[in-house]
C-alpha cells in the first residue's frame, strides 16, 4: 500500500524543513543578511525573510535542546525543562501526580522518585516537588550532580504576559515519550491567544509532549505544554507567570489544587506515527525498548493493520481505538513488517 503524502506545507513546516541545512545558495544571498525581529507577529514575505526566521529558529533549538528533558515516573512518560543550575525542572502537574495502572488516583506526596532522560539518552535521578493541579503546574528536582562542575545547563524563565497574538514560538518535547537516539523534537508555531490562565498556540503536540517547554524566539521559557485542544495543532500551555506566582511553594513541596478530580489516565503505546492522520498507521521513528510497544517487539517501519480484530487503515482510526483503552489493558496488534505479517501483544502504559 502506498503511503499518503502531505497535501500542503505551512510556513512553520517549511521553516523546519530547512533547519538541518544551510538553506539558500550563499552566492545568491544579499551581502547584509536580514535579522528576524523576535517579537514579530507576521509571516515572512520574501526568501530572505524566510531564511532569517529559519536561522532564528535554528538558534533557539540549538540553545534550548540541552535543557529540554524527558520524564519517566511510574507507568507514565512526559517532558520538562531545566530552569536552574541546581537542576530545578518545570513540568505539568498531571505528568507527575500519581496514578496506578487503572487510572485510579493515589495520594500525591512530594519526594517521589523518578528519572530524567537527557537529550543524549542518559538517565539521571530526580524527585518530585510541589504541584498545583488546578492550573497544571508541577516541579521536579534533579538529585544527581550536573555535568558542568556539578551544575546543570538551564534556560531562563521569561514573561509569558508579553506574548502577542501571531508571535512565533518554538515547542520542544518528547512526542510519544522519550525515544532512544532521538533528541527533543522541535515544532514551530504561533500564539493564538494569551491570558493570565493559559497560552494557546498552534504548535503541533501529542501525548508525551506534556510538561515540555514553549519558547519565544529569544530562547526564554514562556509556557509549559498542558493539554491538546480540538486538534493536534490547537494546544494549551501553562503561562510561566503561573509558575512564578507559586515558585517558593513548589520548591517547598506544597501540594494544592483538586488532584482528586483529575481525569483518568489514557493508554500509552510509545511510538511516533505520521502527523497526517489520514496516513497509514506506520511507526516513523525508532521505538524505545522500555515503552509498551518496545517491550512487545514493535519496530520503526512497522505498519499496524489491525487492533485486535478491528481493521486499522489510518492513524486517526488507530488513535480513536487507543482512546477507548486504559493503562493495563492488553491488545493484539497485527503488524506488517516488510512482506511479513505478525501479531504483537501490547500491554498499555499511562500517557501523560
| Residue ranges of E strands in the chain | 68-73, 76-82, 88-92, 113-117, 123-132, 137-142, 168-173, 185-194, 199-201, 213-215, 221-228, 235-239, 255-256, 266-268, 303-307, 310-311, 330-337, 340-347, 349-351
Q: Which residues touch 62 (CB under 8 Å, ≥6 apart)?
A: none
Q: What is the mean pLDDT of the chain?
A: 84
Q: Are strands 213-215 and 168-173 parallel, antiparallel or unpaired?
A: antiparallel
Name the residue with cell 497526517. Answer: 276
Task: Enumerate the domain spans of the chain.
Answer: 9-18+45-263, 266-351
Confidence of residue 118 (pLDDT cuts 50, 70, 90): very high
Cα–Cα distance between 237 and 239 in angstroms, integer? 6
Q: 31-40, 163-172, 284-293: lowest mean pLDDT where?
A: 31-40
pTM of the predicted protein model: 0.67
Q: Please say if the pLDDT value at position 262 is more than 70.
A: no
What was the pLDDT predicted at 222? 96
The answer to whether 98 touches 106, Cβ cutoff 8 Å, is: yes
The answer to whether 190 touches 9, Cβ cutoff 8 Å, is: no
What was the pLDDT predicted at 23? 39
Q: Locate 56 and state its grid cell.
A: 532564528
Q: Does domain 9-18+45-263 have CATH number 2.40.10.120?
A: yes
> What would the mean pLDDT of 3-27 be, rounded to a whole number?
43
Instruction: Locate all alpha helices (DSSP H) within the chain, ordered by sequence.
Output: 11-18, 47-64, 93-96, 240-245, 247-251, 292-296, 315-323
CA 351 to chain centroid, in Å, comes to 12
> What would the mean pLDDT of 231-242 be, rounded to a whole number?
84
Confidence of residue 267 (pLDDT cuts 50, 70, 90): confident
The answer to whether 211 touches 244, Cβ cutoff 8 Å, is: no
The pLDDT tens digits of the residues spanning 80-90 come to 999 999 999 99
Q: Please say if the pLDDT value at position 14 is more than 80.
A: no
Cα–Cα distance between 152 and 88 in angstroms, integer? 9
The pLDDT tens digits of the residues spanning 48-73 come to 999 999 999 999 999 999 999 999 98
The answer to whether 40 touches 167, Cβ cutoff 8 Å, is: yes
> What would the mean pLDDT of 15-29 be, rounded to a whole number?
44
Q: What is the CATH number that goes with domain 266-351?
A: 2.30.42.10
Q: Which residues touch 116 (CB under 8 Å, ≥6 apart)?
A: 69, 70, 71, 72, 80, 89, 123, 124, 125, 126, 140, 142
Confidence of residue 141 (pLDDT cuts 50, 70, 90): very high
What was the pLDDT predicted at 228? 74
Amino acid at each position: 500500500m502506498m503511503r499518503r503524502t502531505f497535501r500542503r506545507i505551512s510556513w512553520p513546516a517549511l521553516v523546519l524543513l530547512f533547519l538541518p541545512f544551510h538553506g539558500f545558495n550563499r552566492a545568491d544571498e544579499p551581502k547584509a543578511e536580514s535579522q528576524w525581529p523576535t517579537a514579530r507577529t507576521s509571516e515572512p514575505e520574501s526568501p530572505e525573510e524566510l531564511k532569517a526566521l529559519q536561522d532564528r529558529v535554528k538558534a533557539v533549538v540549538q540553545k534550548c535542546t540541552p535543557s529540554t528533558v524527558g520524564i519517566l515516573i511510574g507507568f507514565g512518560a512526559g517532558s520538562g525543562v531545566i530552569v536552574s543550575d541546581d537542576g530545578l525542572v518545570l513540568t505539568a502537574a498531571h505528568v507527575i501526580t500519581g496514578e496506578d495502572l487503572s487510572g485510579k488516583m493515589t495520594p500525591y506526596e512530594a519526594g517521589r522518585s523518578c528519572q530524567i532522560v537527557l537529550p543524549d539518552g542518559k538517565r539521571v535521578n530526580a524527585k518530585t516537588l510541589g504541584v498545583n493541579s488546578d492550573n497544571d503546574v508541577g516541579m521536579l528536582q534533579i538529585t544527581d550532580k550536573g555535568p558542568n562542575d556539578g551544575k546543570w545547563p538551564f534556560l531562563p524563565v521569561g514573561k509569558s504576559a508579553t506574548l502577542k497574538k501571531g508571535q512565533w514560538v518554538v515547542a520542544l518535547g518528547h512526542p510519544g515519550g522519550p525515544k532512544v537516539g532521538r533528541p527533543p523534537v522541535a515544532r514551530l508555531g504561533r500564539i493564538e491567544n494569551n491570558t493570565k490562565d493559559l497560552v494557546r498556540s498552534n504548535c503541533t503536540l501529542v501525548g508525551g509532549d506534556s510538561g515540555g517547554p514553549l519558547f519565544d524566539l529569544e530562547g526564554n521559557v514562556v509556557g509549559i505544554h498542558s493539554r491538546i485542544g480540538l486538534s493536534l495543532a490547537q494546544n494549551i500551555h501553562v503561562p510561566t507567570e503561573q509558575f512564578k506566582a507559586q515558585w517558593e511553594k513548589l520548591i517547598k513541596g506544597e501540594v494544592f489544587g483538586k488532584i482528586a478530580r483529575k481525569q483518568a489516565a489514557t493508554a500509552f503505546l510509545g511510538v511516533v506515527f505520521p502527523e497526517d492522520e489520514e496516513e497509514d498507521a506506520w511507526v516513523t521513528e525508532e521505538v524505545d525498548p522500555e515503552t509498551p510497544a518496545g517491550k512487545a517487539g514493535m519496530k520503526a517501519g512497522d505498519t499496524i493493520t489491525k487492533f485486535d480484530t478491528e481493521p486499522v487503515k489510518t492513524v486517526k482510526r488507530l488513535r480513536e481505538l487507543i482512546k477507548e483503552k486504559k493503562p493495563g489493558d492488553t491488545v493484539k496488534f497485527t503488524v506488517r513488517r516488510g512482506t511479513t505479517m505478525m501479531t504483537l501483544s501490547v500491554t498499555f502504559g499511562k500517557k501523560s
